[in-house]
Amino acid sequence: MSVYKIIEIIGTSPKSWEDAASEALKTASKSLEDLRIAEVVKQDVTVENGKITAFRVRLNISFKYRAD
């Protein structure tokens, strides 16, 4: 039997939403083990002077919970 925990993270990128999600997961995987699912909850952009300067993705990610 397994138990999973879900947390919310936000990734940003000047390139794309896909890159923002990828970078967020890459960073989260450095401190979390057994990442299982990533669900895109929200996407938005930062705008300066009428131009997109950053893509942001809010993700719910699940990972295996270990009670030590």
Domains of the chain: 4-64 (3.30.1660.10)
pLDDT of residue 67: 73
pLDDT of residue 61: 97
pLDDT below 50 — which residues of the chain? none
Strands (E), the chain: 4-13, 35-48, 51-64
pLDDT of residue 1: 73
Among 12, 2, 5, smallest CA distance to 63 is for 5
pLDDT of residue 55: 98
pTM of the model: 0.84
